[in-house]
Chain A
């Protein structure tokens, strides 16, 4: 298994631009999570899906952030418009069932200038 695949690995964009981060979970896993990591705030859970349905998005910082999971093998996290304070590493993770350990992807390092 290739694990959780995230793209791109690095993204540099100008303030105000739209950014889309992508995630392919492990086949068969039915839970998917988006986390953000910064030095100041550590790892923060943004949103998670169960069977492609968003269950809890209370961690999404504001309306500029949105996430979708159109099918079991793909999810996106979109920021529109992006701001410098969105600069962080964004991780996607998946799990087979609630309570199982998560498998994280390698992350997308986003820099907004």
Chain B
């Protein structure tokens, strides 16, 4: 079962940073935080994952609080193509069973 809480929807202006929060207060010490997104009518797309330290790749940055009870996915310059449902998932690294919750619908507006 999903162990995360995310807002149902968010709006963001094109060109601005999109900050998507996720609460995972029951996360255990060896569980990772994963982010995926699903653009309409497509399969989910892996974005990034992390354990403790902040992570950055070509798509996004992941900021994990020191107590690891919450995290934020940052899209630095959102475009209309970033409109999607964003899923935050908590899982053991080698567990291989990702439970996707309801996610956050991000609407990027011109």
Contacts and interface: CB of A to CB of B under 8 A. Distances in A.
Contacts of B94: 98-99
Contacts of A34: none
Q: Is chain B's binding surface mostly helix, strand, loop or mixed? A: loop
Interface in A54-99: 55-56, 91, 93, 95, 98-99
Interface string B32-51: 10101000001111110100
A45 interface: yes
> Chain B interface residue count: which class?
20 to 34
B98 A42 contact: no
User: Could you tell me the dominant secondary structure of chain A's interface residues?
Assistant: strand
Interface of B: 32, 34, 36, 42-47, 49, 87, 92-102
11 contacts: A42-B101, A42-B102, A45-B97, A45-B98, A45-B99, A56-B97, A93-B43, A98-B93, A99-B95, A101-B46, A102-B46
